[in-house]
Amino acid sequence: MALLPLTPVKQCHQLADRLRHQIAEHDFGMGVGKVTLSIGVAEYRCGEPIASLIERADQALYSAKDVGRDCVCLLS
């Protein structure tokens, strides 16, 4: 999990996608093979409990996995 305060959700999505791409392109060596990353992004809603934010981010992660993995999904 990464918390990016004062960062617009669009920039969070772009950062997550760059990270996903860099991991996919990295050679981890030692027979590891290709590594991919699915990421869920959720924006904090003023006054919401942190547990709700984490739940929405988790839902976004599972959405990314459901659409084929190796992608970033945003739940606003």
Tracing tokens 């996995």 back to the chain, one arrives at: 65
pLDDT in tens, 21-74: 999 999 999 899 999 999 999 999 999 999 999 999 999 999 999 999 999 999
Residue 60 lies in a domain: yes
Tokens 């988790």 correspond to 58
Q: Which domain, by its residues, includes 48? A: 9-25+38-75
Judge whether 15 lies within some domain.
yes
Q: Into how many domains does the chain fold?
A: 1
73 DSSP β-pair partners? 40
Residue 61 lies in a domain: yes
Over 80: is that where the pLDDT of 76 sits?
A: no
| Neighbouring residues of 43: CB distance < 8 A, sequence distance ≥ 6 | 9, 12, 74, 76
| Closest to 40 (Cα-Cα) out of 23, 65, 21 | 65
